Structure 1
Amino acid sequence: MSGTEARHPLWDLPVRLSHWVIALCLPASWWTAEEGLLELHAWVGYTVLSLVLARLAWGIFGSPQARFGDFLRGPRAIIAYLREGRRDTPGHNPLGGWSAMTLWGLLLVQAVSGLYNSDGILFDGPLYHAAGDAVTDKLGAVHAWLFNAILAFVGLHIATVAWYQWGRGEQLLVPMLRGSAPGREGTGPAAPLWRALLILDLVALALLAIFAAAPEPVSSWW
């Protein structure tokens, strides 16, 4: 690429920020739960929920490599990648794309189940009184065991990234820190930052509206 040609980011700023903030929220959610800081724990969960929903919306309205159409492929593409290493995008490979979707799905279920959680004494989630005891009990159990599944999946993710980074010499960490790396650049310009901020604001407002319409919990986030 010549110096006069535009250099497009592989991962734009919203993708990188959401990735690292969610990564920080995972140990924070564990620590706040262990310490019984349930109000703070709820805010961490609200942050994860907002970021995951915004990231899913960014998969439709975001930058080229952030869009689902760029990295979600069918079985034929996955088999071709496994056999020959063929890929048609500088972003996620066919396996990496579905791995990302799986992680977002797990985080979404974890965050939503937490909205129906309660310690039975001082804290109720914002949607705890919107469902019956049978539903909240089941969601509480899901919230408890799913976190361990997420930790196992994150461990597999870290191991896979390390293998690609140092075993195969494929730059994965630098683009997620700086946006791009030699040989790892995007195919088009990044979407404007205001679009990401607007999506995040709309997600937060929608969640606030849902919480406000729910029956009043014993203790609230607000």
Structure 2
Amino acid sequence: MSKPVVIWDKYIRIYHWLIVIGFTLNYFVLEPGETIHQWVGYCVWILVFARIIWGFIGPKRARVIDFFPTPSRIAQHFRELKSREIPKESGHNAVGGMLILLFWFLFLAQGTTGFLLEETDAFFGSTLVENIHEYIAHSLFIGAIIHVAAVFLTGWWGRIELIKPMITGRRKS
């Protein structure tokens, strides 16, 4: 029997699921502009900011350098997909890394536009900032759909566990 490989540390797993919960609450459940919507948004903003820091000081799989998308890493990932052999010890791939960087940018922009709308007099009630805030939310939702689809498709095609490690932190080698 093979020994499980540690893929995701506890911070990454907790961060991931708190982001899922926070986004789901603010996108589907909570009323925009309400105090609880604002606080959930600020918490997500802080989580993303902390995750970026963790990307420089955390363990190997958490580090930005581990998944930073470069042309050679993207090509390598597509070669692995083509051969249907993704290394069992791998974390995020370079294509997923592009989505992670986009998510970070969008979540930080979302929190910033929300802050401008609610906490500053200059932008309070600004239709332009409201529209940007709304478009970013929809972009995050589309990104989440792409992410979930990619996890299922890559897991199936690449013959690799992707969901369980985000819960347990480990993958069968």
Q: TM-score, normalized by length of structure 1?
A: 0.68
Distance, in Å, in 2 between the alignment partners of 1:94 and 1:62 is 18
Deviation at 1:71, TM superposition (A): 1.3
Point out the structure with the larger helix share: 2
Distance, in Å, in 2 between the alignment partners of 1:83 and 1:166 is 16
| Conserved? CA contact 1:87–1:93, under 8 Å | no
Deviation at 1:87, TM superposition (A): 7.2
SS at structure 1 position matched to 2:7: coil
Please state if 1:32 is matched with 2:30. yes
Distance, in Å, in 1 between the alignment partners of 2:22 and 2:97 is 22
| Conserved? CA contact 2:116–2:124, under 8 Å | no
Aligned residue identity for 2:133: H
User: How many positions carry a matched residue from both structures?
Assistant: 168
- Summarize deviations over 1:73-121 as a string: whole Å, max 9, x none: 311221232245487871111111111111121111111110011xxxx
Check 1:105–1:164 CA distance in 2 against 1; reply closer, same or farther (3 A cut). Answer: same
Please tell me the root mean square deviation across aligned C-alpha atoms, in Å: 2.6
SS at structure 2 position matched to 1:97: helix
SS at structure 2 position matched to 1:181: strand
Indicate the structure (1 or 2) with the bigger Cα radius of gyration: 1
Please state if 1:170 is matched with 2:160. yes
Aligned residue identity for 2:30: T
SS at structure 2 position matched to 1:171: coil
Distance, in Å, in 1 between the alignment partners of 2:75 and 2:2 is 35
Deviant stretches of 4+, over 4 Å: 84-89, 133-137
Distance, in Å, in 2 between the alignment partners of 1:169 and 1:20 is 23
| Conserved? CA contact 1:9–1:180, under 8 Å | yes
Distance, in Å, in 2 between the alignment partners of 1:77 and 1:144 is 33
Please state if 1:46 is matched with 2:6. no
| Unaligned 5+ runs, structure 2 | none
| Conserved? CA contact 2:22–2:40, under 8 Å | yes
Matches within 5 A, 1:134-213: 136-183=126-173
Q: TM-score, normalized by length of structure 2?
A: 0.85
Aligned to 2:15: 18
